[in-house]
Chains A and B, each alone.
Chain A
Amino acid sequence: MNVISPTWFDIGPIEKIPSRGARLVKTPRRDIAVFRTASDEIFALENRCPHRGGPLSEGIVHGRKVACPLHNWIIDLENGEATGADGGCARRFDVKVEKGRIFLDMAQAVIP
């Protein structure tokens, strides 16, 4: 019932993330990986692989997925789910792009 109104934080221009790459946003609660796909879609996931905590921001981004750099689990950027036979989920966060700048919903990001 308690609807949390989003608190959008401007985290920078989209060009600061390489195409098919990711960068990190550090918040007091957690590190969040912000991904940019080949055609400039932006996604945000907690920077922890559901397998053994690998830093997803360092993985190879392909399509709307990222390959974890530690043991190559493939994580869906849209919902954070591990694909294929692997089970587990990295937490996802709302992001939006306006006029070339990326906004992250910090109200979600601070929830434990």
Chain B
Amino acid sequence: MERSMSQQQGSREKPKLVVIGNGMAAGRVLEELFERGSDVFDVTVFGAEPRTNYNRIMLSPVLAGEKTYQEIVIHDEAWYRKRGVTLRKGEKVIAIDRDAKTISTASGRVETYDKLLIATGSTPIAIPVHGVTLPGVVTFRDLDDVDAMLRAAEKGGPAVVVGGGLLGLEAAAGLKAKGMEVTVIHLMPTLMERQLDPSAGYLLKKAIEQRGVKVLTSANTKAILGERRVTGVLLDDGREIPADMVVMAVGIRPNARLAKPTGLAVERGIKVDDRMRTSDPDVYAVGECVEHRGLCYGLVAPLFEMAKVVAAQLHGETDTVYTGSVTSTKLKVSGIDLFSAGDFSEGDDSDEIVLRDPSRGIYKRIVLKDDRVKGAVLYGETEDGPWLFDLLKKETNISAMRDTLIFGQVYQGGAPLDPMAAVAALPDDAEICGCNGVCKGTIVSAITKNGLSSIDEVRAQTKASASCGQCTSKVEALIAIKLGVAYQASKRKPMCKCSDLTHEEVRALIVSRGLDSMPAVMQELGWKTSCGCPACRPALNYYLICAFPLEYKDDAQSRFINERVHANIQNDGTFSVVPRMWGGLTTPNELRAIADVADRFKIPTVKVTGGQRIDLLGVKKGDLPAVWAHLNAAGLVSGHAYAKGLRTVKTCVGKEWCRFGTQDSTGLGVKLERLLCGSWTPAKVKLAVSGCPRNCAEATVKDIGVVCVDSGYDIHVAGAAGLHVRATDLLGHVETEEETLEHVAAIMQLYREEAAYLDRLYKWIEKVGLERVRNVIMHDHEARKALVERFLVSQRAMRKDPWAERAAGFGANEFMPLAVVASIEAPVDLAVAAE
């Protein structure tokens, strides 16, 4: 029917097919058409670029100097001639007239068509900041862009690439290869976040940096600087990065510029149905300019599938349809092996398989659902990419090979060994510990010669498993094989099921190896899950805050609700609010403010806590910021009653009033609270200061207690009065308030730096020994001063009132519902359903 329609045009012999755009999609349609032996159409192609069709994806190797333009041409002039195609190079189409069935070009040519194919690709997005139009700002889309970059690169100098996706990174690598100093600016925390998960993104960043390219993540471009030419880029945070050239690679937008004015249905791209027809049956569209079933693509594989369908349709095979594509990505930067495919939505541990080899920089993750591969990310070793992609596309049931899937195609078929037998079967020169290059023979002979019987001894003597800990289970198997029944599996307690390492080991490795982000820790220490669990994530977040107080960005989503919203959740989902009362002191004004807030927000319960302050219980989450704003106005700040941090400093009245008081215990309590408040700690920390040994502030059951005596201050540590009741141990005696403050700050910092997450102070001291702590704090003056210095650095970054920030609007989303649906008109058939 369609064909007869086009023949109405009558006068010409063959119906006319006009193609707008001569890129990869158009080229492939023509190939497919002629492969079908099609001689049905009289074909004219308009291409805005002054050249024939070439392999656009190879522009990256051209930029890097690995290929020449001639090598990437797909169709030369002769190809078109041979097939009778009229090629109009360098002629841009500027309008389509669907009533007249004509197109017109910038040079004034008007051409009629029977069938029209739009293949205009996409256009690079320029972010709307000041300076984007300056000379020296380029995009990366066609050969002209590459030529411009190569010309600029000849002079060397600094270049900035905005955008850390596939294009941006390929541009960066190319410019670096041409001798420029390159910085990549990326908005998101990890590179290529659409194709990679954070672990692979971390490895990629490391690899790019190893090539000498600077990478700034979580960096937002504010403006492009320069008067007549670009001179640099200004970031949101005020940093300025000098640049002679700026490459914009933040994304692409389907080029539907011609389609829109002529009334074709356009949303993000030109809308096509499964036959690749636009809303006008005589107009087809193909490639990056289209939107099919709500999706736009930016890779060639889908275009090739679309092109097949377009050719078939034009050829009259109306049953051939396009139903969408699953895509996979590889990065074309030599030396970086990276593959991702499908949907690798965060699996939970039951439906993901993760393999990490930190020493070789390998990360592989396969996401499964219902025994089928749903997605995969491979970094460092990608040979199995196509195989996995095939399993994914064919939806093969993999239950039979689930256990060995991650090891790849070559491992399939053989019976899996049990781990003990596998280790026993290894030759002596097999490497067990990749980080330290220790082979089986070395470990075995150390065990037999020196009579080693524990993992710690083997670590100390051979270094095996002393770095990333990945091989711990293999080393343990070797000890077990050598010692037989004599070996008792070690009492080491791994942090959680995501890792074989203990808390203390993880802490130490974070510091010694400078692992400054969660993905870095998880990759370098061989995490067994892709992104942790509720047990390790809060712990890692704390360890990173403690190790890098100035650089690390807190991860709110890895915090327990109380710390995320700075209030304690109650059994009915409301919250409690506890303002600080420094050293247990308050004023009539503060009490009035608390009373007013309780009235105003109809807070049901006001209670005096066991920690010498007032608790407002039953506050609705949405009211929290307003409650805080009111309390702030009266000078009240967060009491951190919810925090793994400093809670209260209880005091007694002391010398000022009490007839037995020896020192100003209340005043010292206030000073201590001001010094320590706001710091995050492994578990909560409570202090008390008593004015004399009668000890009315119960200082000897606190984490840190100070008991004033005539000659000065006794400092106690490691008390508790909760789940376990434990009286403190006396750590030592000092003479002045200043010394007390210094010693207490040093204890805090030592505890902060060493303890396992959730270990109260007494648990930590039980592990490391009171003597050691006493030596550092009371006797090693330099160590103590250094601890205090580190504590103060951290406090400068952390000691702020979290309530004030939130009352001022920080994280406002957290406190409001996403949506409120006031009333719903019941759908008609609902009444039926309710019967």
B-contacting residues of A (Cβ < 8 Å)? 2-5, 7, 9, 11-12, 16-21, 23-28, 31, 34, 37-41, 52-55, 58-65, 67, 69-70, 72, 74, 76, 98-99, 106-107, 109-112
B655: interface (CB < 8 Å): no
Q: Which of the residues A7, A20, A58, A110 comes within 8 Å of B569, measured between beta carbons?
A: A58
Q: How far is the CB of A74 from chain B (nearest CB, A)?
A: 8
- Say if the beta carbon of B558 comes within 8 Å of chain A: yes
Within 8 A of A (CB), among B653-670: none
User: For residue A20, which residue of chain B has the nearest CB?
Assistant: B557
Q: Looking at the assembled complex, report how far the CB atom of B367 sits from the nearest CB atom of chain A, in whole angstroms.
A: 9
Q: What mask results when residues 184 to 208 of chain B are scored 1 for a CB within 8 Å of chain A, else 0?
A: 0000000000000110000000000
A28: nearest residue on chain B (CB-CB)?
A: B823
Determine whether the beta carbon of B345 is less than 8 Å from that of A99: no
Q: Is the interface of A mostly helix, strand, loop or mixed?
A: loop
Please measure, in the bound complex, the distance between the C-alpha atom of A64 and the C-alpha atom of B349, giving whole angstroms: 9
Bound CA span A28–B398, Å: 45
**Residue B168 interfacial (CB < 8 Å):** no
| Interface hit among B321-329, B689-697, B738-746, B824-832 | B824-832
Q: Are B571 and A70 in contact (CB under 8 A)?
A: yes
Of the A-B pairs whose beta carbons lie under 8 Å apart in the complex, a sample of 15, sorted by A's number, is A2-B833, A4-B829, A5-B827, A7-B824, A12-B818, A20-B557, A21-B556, A28-B824, A37-B346, A53-B572, A60-B538, A63-B349, A63-B531, A70-B569, A111-B834
B268: interface (CB < 8 Å): yes
A60 touches B560 (CB 8 A): yes
Is A111 a contact partner of B819 (Cβ separation < 8 A)? no
- Indicate whether B817 reaches chain A with its CB closer than 8 angstroms: yes
Interface residues of B in 615-673 (CB under 8 A from A): none
User: Which residue of B346, B558, B821, B832 is within 8 Å of A60 (Cβ)?
Assistant: B558
Please indicate the chain A residues that have their CB under 8 angstroms from the CB of B530 in the complex. 63
Q: Do A4 and B820 contact each other (CB < 8 Å), given the known contacts A52-B571, A63-B349? A: no
Q: In the complex, A11 Cα to B830 Cα: how many Å? A: 21
What CA separation (Å) do A74 and B349 show in the bound complex?
Answer: 13
In the assembled complex, how far is the CB of residue A54 from the closest CB belonging to chain B, in whole angstroms?
7
B532 in contact (CB, < 8 A): yes
> 1/0 per position for B798-835, CB-CB distance to A under 8 A?
00000000000000010001111111101101101110
Known: A64-B346, A65-B348, A72-B534. A34 touches B818 (CB 8 A): yes
Q: Are B818 and A25 in contact (CB under 8 A)?
A: yes
Contact of B348 among A11, A62, A111 (CB under 8 A): A62
A110 touching B830 in the complex, CB below 8 Å, given contacts A25-B817, A60-B560 = yes
CB–CB B556/A18 < 8 A: yes
**Chain B binding surface, main DSSP class:** loop
Query: CA A81 – CA B529 in complex, angstroms?
Result: 21
Contact call A98/B294, Cβ cutoff below 8 A: yes
Instruction: Report B192 CB to chain A, min CB distance, Å.
Output: 13
Which residues in B have their C-beta under 8 angstroms from that of A72?
A: 534
Q: In whole Å, how far is A59's beta carbon from the nearest beta carbon of chain B?
A: 7
Give how many A-B residue pairs fall within 8 Å (CB-CB): 137
Proximity string of chain B (511-536) to chain A, C-beta cutoff 8 Å, 1 when within and 0 when not: 00000000000000000011111100
B572 contact set on A, CB distance < 8 A: 53
Expressed in whole angstroms, the Cα–Cα distance for A106 and B820 within the complex equals: 12
Q: Is the CB of A110 within 8 A of B817?
A: no
- Is the Cβ of A26 less than 8 Å from the Cβ of B569? no
Q: Which of A21, A34, A52, A63 contacts B346 (CB 8 A)?
A: A63
Select from chain A the residue with minimum beta-carbon distance to B267. Answer: A99
Instruction: Please give the distance in Å from B214's CB to the nearest CB on chain A.
Output: 25
| A4 and B345 in contact, given A27-B824, A61-B557, A69-B561 (Cβ under 8 angstroms) | no
- B833/A37 in contact, CB under 8 A: no
Cβ–Cβ < 8 Å partners of A18 in chain B: 556-557, 813
Q: Which residue of A20, A25, A67, A107 is within 8 Å of B821 (Cβ)?
A: A25
Inter-chain CA distance A52–B276, complex, in Å, is: 53
Q: Which residues of A contact B344 (CB under 8 A)?
A: 39
CB neighbours (8 Å) of A34 from chain B are 818
Q: A2-B832, A38-B197, A39-B197 given; name 17 further pairs at CB < 8 Å.
A: A4-B829, A4-B830, A18-B813, A20-B557, A20-B558, A24-B817, A24-B818, A25-B818, A27-B824, A37-B346, A39-B343, A64-B346, A107-B827, A107-B830, A110-B826, A111-B830, A111-B834
Find out whether the CB atom of A26 lies under 8 angstroms from the CB atom of B346: no
Most chain B beta-carbon neighbours within 10 Å: one of A31, A61, A110: A110
Interface mask (B542-584 → A, CB under 8 Å = 1, otherwise 0): 0000000000000011111100110001011100000000000
The one of A7, A16, A62, A64 in contact with B827, judged by C-beta atoms closer than 8 angstroms, is A7
B537 within 8 Å of A (CB atoms) = yes
* Contact between A55 and B573, CB atoms less than 8 A apart: yes
In the complex, whether B500 has a CB less than 8 A from a CB of chain A is no
| Contact with A23, one of B294, B559, B813, B832 (Cβ below 8 angstroms) | B813
A39 touches B830 (CB 8 A): no
Q: What 10 pairs across the A-B complex have the smallest Cβ distances?
A: A63-B348, A23-B818, A38-B346, A11-B819, A39-B345, A20-B557, A58-B561, A55-B573, A67-B534, A24-B817
Most buried by A among B268, B821, B822, B833: B821
CB–CB A26/B197 < 8 A: no
Residues of A with C-beta under 8 A to B347: 63-64
Q: Is B32 on the interface with A (CB-CB < 8 A)?
A: no
Contacts of B345 in A (CB 8 A): 37-41, 64
| Least CB distance, B697 to chain A, in whole angstroms | 32
Q: Is the CB of B829 within 8 A of A54?
A: no
Kindly state whether residue B181 has any CB partner on chain A within 8 Å: no
For B498, the closest partner residue in chain A by CB is A62
Residue of A nearest to B294 (CB): A98
Tell me if B352 is interfacial: C-beta within 8 Å of chain A: yes
Output the least CB separation between B16 and chain A (Å).
Answer: 36
Shortest CB distance A27–B (Å): 4
Chain A residue at minimal CB-CB distance from B536: A62
Contact yes or no, A111 B827, CB < 8 A? no
CA separation between A23 and B621, bound complex, in Å?
A: 12
Q: Which residue of chain B has its CB nearest to the CB of A74? A: B534
- Complex CA gap A20/B351 in Å reads 17
CA A18 – CA B189 in complex, angstroms? 14
Contacts of B819 in A (CB 8 A): 9, 11-12, 25-26
Residues of B within 8 A of A28 (CB): 821-824
CA distance A68 to B19 in the complex (A): 58
B502 CB to closest chain A CB (Å) equals: 21
Determine whether the beta carbon of A110 is less than 8 Å from that of B824. yes
Give the CA-CA distance A52 to B822 in the complex, in Å.
27
By a CB distance below 8 angstroms, the chain A residues around B824 are: 7, 27-28, 106, 109-110
Complex-state Cα separation, A41 to B538, whole angstroms: 22
Task: Please give, as numbers and ranges, the residues of chain B lying within 8 Å of A24 by CB-CB distance.
Answer: 817-818
Instruction: Quote the shortest CB–CB distance from A100 to chain B (angstroms).
Output: 10
B558 to chain A, nearest CB (A): 7
Closest-CB distance, A49 to chain B (whole angstroms): 10
Contact residues in B for A27 (Cβ distance below 8 Å): 821, 824
Taking a contact as CB atoms under 8 Å apart, the answer to whether A60 and B537 are in contact is yes
- Residues of the B chain whose Cβ atoms lie less than 8 Å from the Cβ of A37: 345-346
Q: In the complex the two chains form, is B833's CB within 8 Å of A4's CB?
A: yes
| Min C-beta distance of B527 to chain A, whole Å | 12
